[in-house]
Amino acid sequence: MKLKYTPMIEQYLKIKKDYADCLVFFRLGDFYEMFFDDAIVASKELEIALTARDGGADERIPMCGVPHHAVMPYIEKLINKGYKVAIAEQVSEPGKGLVDRKVVKLITPGMVIDDGILDTKNNNFIGSIAQERLFFSLSYADVSTGEFYLIEDLRRDELVKEISKLELKELVLTKDLEYIEKEFDFPILVSKHQNFLENHDLINNLLPLGKKSAGILLSYLSKIEANLIAGFDQIKINKKQEFLHLDNNSIKALELVGSRNKQDHSLFKVLDKNQTAMGSRKLKTLIQAPLTDKTEIMKRHDFVEVFYNNRIARTALIDALKGVYDLKRIASRIASLNTTPKDLAQLRHSLSKVPLIVDALKMFADSNVNQYYKKLNLHEDLFMLLAEAIVDNPPLVIKEGGIFKQNYHEELDKLKQAAKSGKNWIKEFEEKERERTGIKNLKVGYNRVFGYYIEITKGNIHLVKEEFGYTRRQTLVNSERFINEELKMQEEIILTAKDRSLELEYQLFLELRKTVSKSGKSLQILADQIAYIDVIQALAEVALKNNYIKPELKDDRELFIANARHPMVEHFNPDPFIENDVSIIDGGILLITGPNMSGKSTYMRMVAIIIIMAQMGSFVPASTAKLPIFDAIFTRIGAQDDLTRGQSTFMVEMLETNEALRYATAKSLLVFDEIGRGTATYDGMALAQGIIEYVHEKIRSAMLFSTHYHEITQLETALRRLKNIHVSAVLDQGKLVFLYKVKEGPTDKSYGINVAALAKLPKPLINRSQIILDHFEVDKKKDLELTIFNYAHLEEDNPITVTFNEAAINKIKELDLDSLTPIEALLILKEIQEDLK
């Protein structure tokens, strides 16, 4: 039997049926309410009270709500957790009967345009895919910036890695591609959509596979909000061969755009001296997609060099850029007719800075820079229009007035003056009535239902006389509300003027918005140009501050870096960084040995990061850098067990190694950190040697390979392009001291027991381990009796008194050493050291 609900709940259920996959925010007066399962989910996710109300059926309906004036933080929280939100507003004036409501806005994780929800320094991508036989196309867009990209001819494994790397917030799948979901081991909202936009200027010239994925995405976006796709100017095809290949594992292992700890110690953090949000996003894109075209890379280096060499001009440029808002996102909202009055005020302010940017660029007196600034469109007419139209601090909403300056529109000025005069009349009327009636706390008020009224408290009701001409309009708990003929007549004049003023102002804003939208595409181009200028000045600023140098790009495959430094360790660690040289011949392999914590991983990461910096167009931390162009960097550094997929650390290690060996070329760089440590010693040693030989003979790519298997250092005599190096350490009065200096040849000791002593393992254990090691080194075939009773004679004459710091011990116990980066390990070690002082 169908339950009978109240008309309002029936209205809610009808809306919910059309938006079944969304949390429906249902406007009730000053609150957005959620009901039934939506209320249960929202109360849990938002940590707000779950209540219930009568809905006409036998059981009370679950309900929760949030204030309408503070709704955005709640929506942001839900969007970040992967939910869709449908906002159902009251679209008719309150009065007799049920208020009309309809969904006026749909917000999904991949379709956010509100600055209050968006991360200023990150893109917010939504994507879709299409398949033809064994290959896929991936289309992805940021509706907040108007960017739309396409990657074609991806293998299935490449597709999944690209989706992970882009950190798509939402993926649109057709029914035939739902199977791809099982490949995702990362959080992503999947939306189902079957339609395909077949004819649109953006896609008509694309190849069939790319056209299909782009058409699916455009169809989905236009279904949600028709104007959204007007914000896209073009679809940029990203060709894989134009960029240095970096998979998500490498981006994370090298800490390029984020760190695994709460403190951001990434390369992006070091380089981000941008003055604009769009500049920061552009920088992040460049870091993750370094170039492979030597000419284009050198153009960026030359641009950075010009900015580097003229501090006065760069300072003027920085000052001008500081006043530019997020023009990229504003331009996108303008093109899609989602502009607010505040957007137009920010656009006006940003445009006022463009002439200052041009003046600063002229100060560089460089021909290439001159060509660049000449392309900047000042939008002078648009600036003048906005300067004449919009008040200094306009509201966010467009239906409550207060948008336009005086003298912008004659009729609007007259209506505003009439409404203003009416307000003055109300004040004078209130004073006059107080005098006439002798009721000193008499007030004149207004609400939308009853209009203007005279309010008198219950304590003064006895003072109301018939001769006053008051007619009772409303009775409240503590007061009575009245009207008289004089107030009623003036009410019509005031409200008519006010209503006409608001309606006219709204229509004028729509006209202005439409006029400004004609400049939407050119504003997006301007935003891109300013973002690029901002990135270049940021790279120049960092280079000067951190003593970076312009790298030299070579046509051969030999690499040489003198006095190289790790940019993040140098920046975030207060201790001086020990510089090291790096030399790799064509197809060369550096086999790196040394104790744990000596800096092997830091050295390898440093080389990879310097290459990435050079190919993205940045200067690099070194005194000399002569570098070939690489087509890919593959890393195998640390791992955590993938328990959700039943994969151990060793299995993950082998899978990632196989990925590198399958796709690396002679122009790639491989960075392998202690391959084989997750299995038996001889298995690991055999695998390590086999990998080295395979890379040397078959792939011939450059490789950095660290190991604790000292036996394989003998490969130097057999493999012509392999070179042994080690990170040095010394024993000083029995204590291990790390020198962090890389020297030629293999290390003669691993110092594992000394590292264990640094970790404060029990003294008897350390002594016993040293004896066992001595036996192994004298005669590896001799069997040792490994029994606990052998510890007895190792005890010191006096019992060892050990004082434990429980907090420090617990902190060490909780560490996942496989996943820690050297930077994280050093910082954690420093924290523990401070705790123990």
The pLDDT, as a whole number, for residue 62 is 95
The C-alpha atoms of residue 653 and residue 647 are separated, in whole angstroms, by 10
pLDDT in tens, 541-599: 999 999 999 999 999 999 999 999 999 999 999 889 999 999 999 989 999 998 877 78
Judged against a pLDDT cut of 70, whether residue 632 lies above it is answered with yes
- Could you say which of 3.30.360.10, 3.20.20.70, 3.40.50.2300, 3.30.420.110 is the CATH number of the domain covering 126-238? 3.30.420.110
Count of C-beta atoms within a 10 Å radius of residue 374: 10
Judged against a pLDDT cut of 90, whether residue 447 lies above it is answered with no
Domain boundaries 552-752, corresponding CATH code: 3.40.50.300
The pLDDT, as a whole number, for residue 259 is 79
The C-alpha atoms of residue 36 and residue 47 are separated, in whole angstroms, by 16
Lowest mean pLDDT among 155-164, 282-291, 820-829: 820-829
The pLDDT, as a whole number, for residue 747 is 84
What dihedral do alpha carbons 335, 340, 342, 345 form, nearest 10°?
Answer: 40
Residue with tokens 């009439």: 418
Judged against a pLDDT cut of 90, whether residue 260 lies above it is answered with no
CATH 1.10.1420.10 correct for 410-513: yes
What's the chain's average pLDDT? 88
The dihedrals phi and psi of 288, each to the nearest 5 degrees, come to -85, -10
pLDDT in tens, 324-351: 999 999 999 999 888 999 999 999 999 9
Residues above pLDDT 90, as percent of the chain? 63
- Could you say which of 3.30.70.100, 1.10.1420.10, 1.10.10.10, 3.30.300.100 is the CATH number of the domain covering 272-379+519-546? 1.10.1420.10
In this predicted model, which residue has the larger pLDDT, 781 or 180? 180
Task: Tally the C-alpha atoms within 13 A of residue 771's C-alpha that lie toward its C-beta.
Answer: 13
The pLDDT, as a whole number, for residue 776 is 62
The pLDDT, as a whole number, for residue 244 is 97
CATH superfamily entry for domain 7-107 = DNA repair protein MutS, domain I (3.40.1170.10)
Q: Sign (positive/negative) of CA torsion 773, 779, 785, 790? A: negative
The C-alpha atoms of residue 404 and residue 398 are separated, in whole angstroms, by 11
pLDDT in tens, 24-46: 999 998 899 999 999 999 999 99
Lowest mean pLDDT among 129-143, 231-245, 673-687: 673-687
The pLDDT, as a whole number, for residue 187 is 87
Residue with tokens 């705790």: 835
* Within this chain, domains 126-238 and 552-752 share the same CATH topology: no
pTM above 0.75, yes or no: yes
Judged against a pLDDT cut of 70, whether residue 256 lies above it is answered with yes
The C-alpha atoms of residue 173 and residue 515 are separated, in whole angstroms, by 36
Lowest mean pLDDT among 19-33, 535-549, 763-777: 763-777
Give me the residue spans of the domains in the chain: 7-107, 126-238, 272-379+519-546, 410-513, 552-752
| Mean pLDDT, residues 648-677 taken together | 87
The pLDDT, as a whole number, for residue 817 is 67
